[in-house]
Structure formats: structure tokens, C-alpha cells
Structure 1
Amino acid sequence: MKLRTTLAAVLLAAVVPVAAACGTTAEAASATSGTSTSASADSSTTDGTTDTGGPGGGMAQGGGPGGIDVSSVTTEDQLVELVQEAYGDAGLGLHRGHQPIEDVLDEVLTISHDELHVRMDAGQNLAAVAEDLGIDPQTLIDALVAEYSPAIDTLLADGTITQDEADQYRAALEEAFSFRVNWDGEEATPTFSGLDA
């Protein structure tokens, strides 16, 4: 019994860092320990909020766990934060916290999440993975922009931003996702603080 407990602890130690990179720590802990009661249906975030779901797979959209839910953006400040989160989190390596965009990756790349991890752990960024699969990386970028665009459309529809501003935000999203898909593992993540006045 002690051997099984030790083995379970070792496996958990190996799985949690990878799962954390995808924002699925609670799910990974639950999967590796049948007796764990700490995992729940919702993921707790570092700021004390609960990630209860969003479009395209039920998780909040953004650069990592607890990101902004695209469907809940109601202010321009939230839109600015959403664009920043589109760059991802460099602290998570080539993964950049791809869990919030996992549904788009699954749909466009048509490979399993585990295979994506194997490829990224071998040093491929999202562009290289796409190219290996015969997919133009721009196709992936366009799909990611389309996933986040409803936030822009909402603010345009309610008069918070103008059409020109909406176009600028869409361009900023494309730039952010282009950076994320093509990231070389070295370049510093740009900061998006809103549209230039």
C-alpha cells in the first residue's frame, strides 16, 4: 500500500506542473487520485474568484486559469485585459496557458491535447505544430481571433466603442494571437494597454 501511495505522489508531482500549464490542475489532481476530494466542478482562481465557464468548452477565455470570459466583457477595460491575455503567459513555456483556447486548438489542429503537449514539450510552438499538420498558422490565428471577437462585437453594439475602435481592437487581437502562435520561447511578451489616443 505504501508503494502505491508513493507512486501516486510521484505521478501527481509529474502531472500537476503540466496540468497547471493548461489550467486544469484540479482536473488532473482528481484524475490521478481517486480519493481526492479537493477537486471540484469549478476551478478556483488565484484572485479568489471561481471560473465557472464560458463559450467554447465551458472555461473562461484568456491567457490562463481565471481569464476573462469573452461573453462577460462589458467594459473597454475588460476588453483591454482580454487582448493582453490573448498573448498568453510566457511563464508557462510554449504552452502559454493554452487551456482557455483549447477548443479552438482541438478544432483547427485536430489532434489530442496530449499530442499537442508532446509536440510542445519537444520544442514546437503552435505555428510549427500547425505546419507539421499541413495547416497554415494563419488559419489558427484567424480562428482564435474569431473566438475572442464577440467581446468586441458586444461593446460595439452597445455603443461603448466605435467601428474604428472595434477594427483596431480586432487588429490588436490578431497581433496578440500571432505573437502567441509564433512565439519562439525567448521574446518578451508585449504589453497592451489599450488603443492609442
Structure 2
Amino acid sequence: MKCRFFLTLLAAAALPFSGAQALNWNEGLDGDLSNDGDFPTFVLLTEGSNLFEGTMGSLNGTGPLDADVWSFTIAAGYYLTGINLVAYSAPAPNIQSFMALDDVASINMFDPSQHLSNGLWTEELDGFGNTYTDLLAILDTGPEYGGDGFDGPLGPGTYTFWIQEGSDQINYTINMVVTAVPEPGSVVLVGLAGFSLLRRRRRP
């Protein structure tokens, strides 16, 4: 709850987005995202929403498993404030997929203790029948299988994100949200309440 409150404040206090929603990667148009943690696909994120549409897993449990792995850099003055599952198609309900995040330009796919965080996710709905799963909050609560852990939005740096489904083929759309942060020492008014400076949350 504390982290969710902070994320809400940060999003409300952010500078205006620089542009409309961007589709950064569509596997049907741009090719398959890497399935190699040592050589992830590098994607340039922009301020605001960054959409990724793809397919992962294995069709009917046969054939090679398809992981999706991509890396990105958060510039100074920005935070990654959301990793949201906004579309999801699976052959059966309540399928749990794996995800992992690390704060380097690659990710170890064999030793979860090396991750920043990791965990399992499935589809959740927003109350109006729309897919909405807060993947960043799940990672913030983790790591589920060992790792360093983190607290709050992700600050400037390079990160790698890995998603994997073991036995089924999953279609997904994930939205990574990048938010500008007010300069230190400034006072930001949020709505009518007038909240003061938001401070960076640091890893333990």
C-alpha cells in the first residue's frame, strides 16, 4: 500500500508527457524479441507509455520454449513508474507466467539470486472487464525466488526484463511507463492538497 501510494503521487506530480502512446515493439512487425539473457533486445523507451506486443511460451507444450528478453535505459531525471500487463491471451485461465528484472544490461537465466527481482504473474481485471496487472508492484513485493529486491519506482540506469511461460503459448501486451521527476528542492502541488517534495526511494 505504501509503495502504491508513492507511485500515485509520483505519477500525479510528473511533468507533462512529451508525446502520445508509443508502440516500441511489436513482434509481428519488428521481429521476435531475444530469448537470450546474455544478449537481450535493446529498446529505447520514451517518456510516457511504451507498449510491447508479443508471444511467448510453447504451442501446446511442444517445440522449443520462447522467452522474451529486452533491455532499456532510464535517463537521469526519469523513473520507470509502471510495468503493466494490459492485454493477455492464454489457452486456460489462471496460467502463471514467470518474469524477472535485473539492473544490468543482461540477465542470468539460470540463477535467480542474481536478479534484482522476480515473480509469477497472471491476468487480473480492472473491475470493468479489462486486463490490468501491475507487474512492477509484484516485482516490488518480491523477489519470489531470490535476489536483491528494490523499493518503489526504478531510477536512472540500465535494466533487463525477462518474461517466460513454460508450457503454453501466451499473447501479451505490456506497457512500460516512464515518468519525469521534478528537480530536487522544488515544491510540487498535487491536486488541491499541495504535497511537497517527493524523494527518491532507495533499495535497502
Instruction: Pick the TM interval, shorter chain.
Output: under 0.3
| Greater RCO, 1 or 2 (C-alpha within 8 Å, sep 6+) | 2
TM-score of the pair, normalised by structure 1: 0.24
Which of the two has greater helix per residue? 1
Which of the two has greater strand per residue? 2
Structure having the higher Rg: 1
